[in-house]
Amino acid sequence: MVVELVSVGTEILMGNIVNTNAAYLAEQCTALGLLCYYQTTVGDNEKRLLETVQTAMKRADLVILSGGLGPTKDDITKEVCAKACGRKLVMDGASRVAIEKYFEKMGKEPTENNWKQAQVPEKSIVLPNPNGTAPGLIIEDEATLILLPGPPNELIPMFQNSVLPYLQGKQEAVMISQTVKLVGVGESSVATAIDDLFDGQSNPTIATYAKTGEVHLRVTAKAEDEKKARKLLKPMVKELKERFNEHIYTTDNDVSLEQSLVELLVNNQLTVSTVESCTGGLLAGRLINVSGVSEVFKMGHITYSNKAKRKIIGVKRSTLEKYGAVSEQVARQMAKGCCMLAKSDVAVSVTGIAGPEGGTEQKPVGLVYIGCCIKGKTRTKKYQFTGNRRKIRESAVAAALVLMRECILEYIAEMAFGDKK
């Protein structure tokens, strides 16, 4: 079954917001084995939206639209889709009551434009929206149209609770992907190392994706059922495992680098703490996005100023004066000091120049030192990142996670070797 995504909103066309809904819907559709050939974004303009919906209805079996269901006058998705299918709008009693209840719960009064949201095209399936006032809609016509609200915190639960069960009954083939996630190796080298695997590929297929500090290899197989698809995937994933070995941190689609790290810490009963300068909390923020991190995360510190580095973490004044805050020596003392303060097994430190100000010829913007102390042994590494402030900070966080992983694996290997002696 072929699906097409249509995102509606002048705010996307004008670049005010990033279209995360399309990524979410695309991923969900892929997981369902649906084939997606086009994603289109179009504004809140009747003529162009109608044309887009009509084209999509010709090209695909299923068209998922997001956005333009809000209470304001420029929200016209529902009206245009009703027109594309030649249907009238009627008042939906249940939606009217749901809107009343929603406002009651929020302790607010509905405004006149909220009632527009209870109007639905005749003979459509109404999807409840517990997180907002715009109900979703399914219109079964030449192609099936699914209309979802734009805000992700309304769209995602509605997709999970209403659309997913609806679509699961309509599958023809199963398409399954497995992602082999690599660190410590570049995209070009990865591409060269698997070039021969591309030549014969048809099922499974393989694709490379560059992420900040990571390369992902996505292997996708298509078959009539999940079991057969998994059987097709297996030898290719095995081949990749042999080729990339220790660079692979997971072969699980849903496991992030920070998640694999937290698992590594939990499984080896190692606690961790962080001390950050230029990344200012983002490293801890990524680790703490892992549910269950509380078992191993002891504490984190953001020592942006030199004073905080001295006062909280115990970096020596003389070291700061002699080498500067962005130096191998300070990164080392930060990691060591953090281990001692937090009484953690592992501590990671980051100090660098995220810019745009603060760079010099000797220490340009993008220079970052990362330290990792594990059971008293400290390793540091120097990096030179490019991009704007945000990109440099993201790269530094990714690099810190990668260095931390290397140090932990090294430590585990040493311990295993020590036990054998």
By CB under 8 A, residue 61 contacts a copy of itself: no
> Which residue from 94, 97, 189, 246 is in contact with a copy of itself, where contact means CB under 8 A?
189
Please report, as residue ranges, which positions from 11 to 30 form the binding site for a copy of itself (by CB under 8 A): 11-20, 22-30
**Structural contact between residues 22 and 7, judged by C-beta atoms closer than 8 angstroms:** yes
Q: How far apart, in whole angstroms, are the C-alpha atoms of residue 235 and residue 42? A: 42
**Count of residues that interact with a copy of itself, criterion CB under 8 A:** 106
Task: Compute CA distances 9 → 65, 75, 224, 400, whole Å.
Answer: 11, 8, 37, 38
**Structural contact between residues 311 and 305, judged by C-beta atoms closer than 8 angstroms:** no
Place of tokens 């097709």: 232
Q: How far apart, in whole angstroms, are the C-alpha atoms of residue 152 and residue 143? A: 24
Encoded one letter per residue, x for contact with a copy of itself by CB under 8 A and - for no contact, window 94-133 reads --------------x--xxxx----------------x-x
Q: How far apart, in whole angstroms, are the C-alpha atoms of residue 259 and residue 372? A: 18
Among 44-52, 230-238, 256-264, 402-410, which window interacts with a copy of itself (CB under 8 A)? 44-52
Task: Compute CA distances 121 → 78, 95, 102, 364, whole Å.
Answer: 8, 13, 22, 60
> Which residue from 87, 216, 247, 316 is in contact with a copy of itself, where contact means CB under 8 A?
216
Among 120-128, 136-144, 188-196, 402-410, which window interacts with a copy of itself (CB under 8 A)? 188-196
Please report, as residue ranges, which positions from 281 to 340 form the binding site for a copy of itself (by CB under 8 A): 281-285, 287-289, 291-294, 297-305, 307-308, 311-312
Among 90-98, 225-233, 326-334, 350-358, which window interacts with a copy of itself (CB under 8 A)? 350-358
> Which residue from 68, 136, 337, 355 is in contact with a copy of itself, where contact means CB under 8 A?
355
By CB under 8 A, residue 210 contacts a copy of itself: yes
Task: Compute CA distances 258 → 216, 390, 403, whole Å.
Answer: 15, 19, 12
By CB under 8 A, residue 71 contacts a copy of itself: yes
CB of 407 to a copy of itself, least distance (A): 21
By CB under 8 A, residue 251 contacts a copy of itself: no
Task: Compute CA distances 245 → 180, 239, 266, whole Å.
Answer: 11, 10, 22
Encoded one letter per residue, x for contact with a copy of itself by CB under 8 A and - for no contact, window 256-275 reads ------------------x-
Q: Does an H or E element contain 397, and which?
A: helix 389-420
Write the DSSP assignment of 252-292 as a string of letters. -TT--HHHHHHHHHHHTT--EEEEESTTTTHHHHHHHTSTT
Please report, as residue ranges, which positions from 385 to 404 form the binding site for a copy of itself (by CB under 8 A): 386-391, 393
Q: Of the two residues 67 and 371, which places its CB atom closer to a copy of itself in the complex?
A: 67
Q: Of the two residues 113 and 415, which places its CB atom closer to a copy of itself in the complex?
A: 113
The C-alpha angle with vertex 123 and arms to 119 and 125, in degrees rounded to 5, equals 75
